[in-house]
Chains A and B, each alone.
Chain A
């Protein structure tokens, strides 16, 4: 049962990711990305990481993608230009790099995969432990994100404001 769920979710994630990468319509691209993120959230639930699933839905799919959709609606991008030669060349390299990356990395991982090393007992980690680790061991990265967000806020307003 869990298997069916997992494989449906992962297949759907891959298909919508294909759409994200290849679609000509920006809105379809954004909506496919939302579908991919929701499928990933489902997968996080299957592998027993409910906190991450929640964060994925709330923050990633729920806030960041909504921001994307606002901007898409604002800018209303339209694909009106015909496909130029430079684009065809670039897409050739894109396909090549994709196949190279995908097959090389997959082959590498398949060669080195050892089930003995990778199976242990997985349990859902309580949020309290995550928070403890984040605020004690990983305190510096946590504080760095606050600086990052400050810079991003100041910067976004600075760049986009009308004068």
Chain B
């Protein structure tokens, strides 16, 4: 008898379809439509990703599943999907100056952007090993191409090369680890089933395979999240790639990667036997080490950077460390997932907004914004509004109270202290103090030095202003009224 085709759950599948269709539509429209303005592809991409965002926010109920349990909109996944789609929209909004300046092919650029966001979306909501692997690869391949799109820049080609080598290498670790997870779990690749089979394990072989698989997969994830010591080449890629692409890499890719990491770690959390408890403690220690190293190395090396994008790259490494603290609490402390989820999501929202504004201002300033920090001298006199936005981003990244950066760090540090990781929090606070130097240095240059570069700055286009404001306003508003975040996360 013929095999039965699985029934399609329309609402959960709709966001995936919408985003994929948007990407294809951009490519087709470029071929077919004769008269089009430069913002045509941008418009389609925003409409498509925005529609998907609305569907996820309203149409998809909590814990909706699709494709036979391969995709599930659990709390972290659903919010991760919304954050990622918002990232995509924001990055698209800050792109026009870069697309124009470096003569990037607009249709292909926005289409690839949308496909990268597609990969990130599926990565957030997938709870099956090989779906995770494939979405990681879709994001990676789209970004390899986006990084190398600047035709006349050999640095762009080098950035694409380095990211490619890094990505392919880490993909190898990821899939090898997933294969051992599959093997140890007795042939099931859905993470929920793996969790169930963990509870029934009675043999050393299966446990051992699971541990090996988890270790290798962690190495793969560590590359993707640019954790130390897997962070090589990250700064090079950020420096050489077009600035909006670096933004997407720093925001959406990290969000999706982190959500996927939480999904993969969750089955471990459902352990019951004493052996697995010990293993969970070891995994937790490993994560502790990664977090501590990332915080220390990220902050210290950022001090030494003179190029703005490289500084932001190392700052992202440090922020991955702060984020990972939440994962440490999750794995080692015996807290429930729900308690940690909220903290993680707040931090992710904060992180995304701050990075979008910082990179967005750099993108708006064109070649000047992507150079060294000295090039920002006197920006306050030449373009007070851009300088102000950058200042907000820098203050928030440091964690000054009143900004959402402070709220995010506060929640994570509080949760970590509650769980007993005092040493780690001390390291994190010290790291934040150190980071104040290189963030505030930018503000000093902008406001207290005289301009050295060109006298005129092209004002930001309306679209870029919208993007920057959409990201910057919540940084302050949610920073001053953090209760709004609680309401938002509980009700949407």
Chain A, residues 69-111, CB within 8 Å of chain B (1/0): the string is 0000000000000000000000000000000000001001101
In the complex, which residue of chain B has the Cβ closest to the Cβ of A113?
B205
B70–A154 touching, CB < 8 Å: no
Contact A151 B205 (CB under 8 A): no
Assembled-state Cα–Cα distance A112/B206 (Å): 8
A141 close to B131 (CB less than 8 A): yes
User: Does B204 contact A144, Cβ atoms closer than 8 Å?
Assistant: no
Residues on B with C-beta less than 8 A from A154 are 27, 108, 111-112, 145
* Whole-angstrom distance between the Cβ of B410 and the nearest chain A Cβ: 38
Nearest A-chain residue to B8, judged by Cβ: A139
> For window 30-66 of chain A, which residues contact chain B by CB distance below 8 Å?
none
Is there an interface contact between A137 and B68, defined as CB atoms closer than 8 Å? yes
Which residue of the partner chain, among B27, B112, B134, B151, contacts A148 with CB atoms under 8 Å? B134
Complex interface: chain A residues within 8 A of B20 (CB): 147
Provide the residues of chain B in CB contact with A151, threshold 8 Å: 112, 115, 138, 141-142, 145
Query: Quick one: which of A117, A132, A147, A152 contacts B118, CB cutoff 8 A?
Result: A147
Chain A residues whose C-beta falls within 8 Å of the C-beta of B149 in the assembled complex: 158-159
Report the interface size class on chain A: 20 to 34
B461 to chain A, nearest CB (A): 25
CA distance A154 to B205 in the complex (A): 44
> CB of A4 within 8 A of chain B?
no
Complex interface residues of chain A between 115 and 131 (CB less than 8 A to chain B): 117-118
A135 to B67 alpha-carbon distance, docked (Å): 11
Cβ contact within 8 Å between B134 and A144: yes
Q: Which of B24, B68, B141, B160 contacts A152 (CB 8 A)?
A: B141
Chain B, residue nearest A159 (CB): B148
Question: How far in angstroms is the closest Cβ of chain A from B4?
Answer: 7
Contacts of A109 in B (CB 8 A): 208, 212
Rounded to whole angstroms, the CA-CA distance of A138 and B68 in the bound complex is: 9
User: How many angstroms between the C-alpha atoms of A147 and B137 in the bound complex?
Assistant: 11
Q: How far is the CA of A150 from the CA of B70 in the complex (A)?
A: 22
- Whether A105 contacts B204 in the complex (CB less than 8 A), given A148-B134, A151-B112, A154-B108, comes out as no
- A117 and B68 CA atoms in complex are apart in Å by 29
Bitwise, B1-22 to A at CB < 8 A (1) or not (0) is: 0011110000000000000100
A160: nearest chain-B partner, CB-CB: B148
CB distance from A111 to the nearest CB of B (A): 7
Binding site for A on B (CB under 8 A): 3-6, 20, 23-24, 27, 66-68, 70-71, 105, 108, 111-112, 115, 118-119, 122, 126, 128, 130-131, 134-135, 137-138, 141-142, 144-145, 148-149, 151, 160, 203-209, 212
Please give, as numbers and ranges, the residues of chain B lying within 8 Å of A132 by CB-CB distance.
3
Query: B144: which A residues are within 8 A, CB to CB?
Result: 155
The answer to whether A136 and B4 touch (CB under 8 A), given A151-B141, A152-B141, A155-B142, is yes
Asked whether B206 lies within 8 Å of A117 as measured between CB atoms, the reply is yes
Pairs of residues from A and B, 8 with the lowest C-beta to C-beta distance, nearest first: A112-B208, A155-B145, A140-B67, A144-B134, A132-B3, A114-B205, A112-B204, A117-B205
Residue of A nearest to B211 (CB): A108
12 contacts between A and B (CB under 8 A): A139-B67, A141-B131, A147-B118, A150-B24, A150-B115, A151-B145, A154-B27, A154-B108, A154-B145, A155-B112, A156-B145, A158-B149
Beta-carbon contact of A136 and B67 below 8 Å = no
Nearest residue in B to A138 (C-beta to C-beta)? B130
The listed residue (A113, A118, A148) touching B141 by CB distance below 8 A is A148
Cα(A140)–Cα(B20), bound, Å: 13
Q: B134, A145: Cβ atoms under 8 Å?
A: yes
| Minimal beta-carbon separation of A140 from chain B (angstroms) | 4
- Please determine whether B3 and A141 come into contact, CB atoms closer than 8 angstroms: no
B160 nearest in chain A by CB position: A159
Give chain B residues whose Cβ lies under 8 Å from the Cβ of A108. Answer: 208, 212
Complex Cα distance A158/B122, Å?
25
Q: A136-B6, A140-B131, A141-B134 are in contact. Are A147 and B68 (CB under 8 A)?
A: no
In the complex, which residues of chain B have a beta carbon less than 8 angstroms from the beta carbon of A137?
6, 68
Contact across chains for B141 and A155 when beta carbons are under 8 A apart: yes
- Partner among A112, A136, A141, A147 whose Cβ is within 8 Å of the Cβ of B115: A147
The answer to whether A112 touches B108, judged by C-beta atoms less than 8 angstroms apart, is no
B108 contact set on A, CB distance < 8 A: 154, 158
Indicate whether A144 sits within 8 Å of B122 (C-beta atoms), given known contacts A108-B212, A151-B112, A159-B160. yes
Give the docked Cα–Cα distance between A38 and B168 (Å).
22
Chain B min CB distance to A33 (Å): 14
Contact status B130-A141, CB under 8 Å: yes
Q: Known contacts A139-B67, A144-B122, A147-B20: does B134 contact A105 (CB below 8 Å)?
A: no
Contact A144 B208 (CB under 8 A): no
Other contacts beyond A112-B208, A114-B204, A158-B108: 8, CB < 8 A: A113-B205, A117-B206, A136-B4, A141-B128, A144-B134, A147-B23, A154-B27, A158-B145
Q: Which residue of chain B has the shortest Cβ distance to A140 in the bound complex?
A: B67
Which A residues lie within 8 Å of B24 (CB)?
150
Contacts of B4 in A (CB 8 A): 136
Are B137 and A158 in contact, with the CB atoms below 8 A? no
State the Cβ distance, A137 to closest chain B Cβ, in Å. 6
CB nearest to B146 among chain A residues: A155
B71 CB contacts on chain A under 8 angstroms = 140
Among A105, A147, A163, contact of B138 (Cβ-Cβ < 8 Å): A147
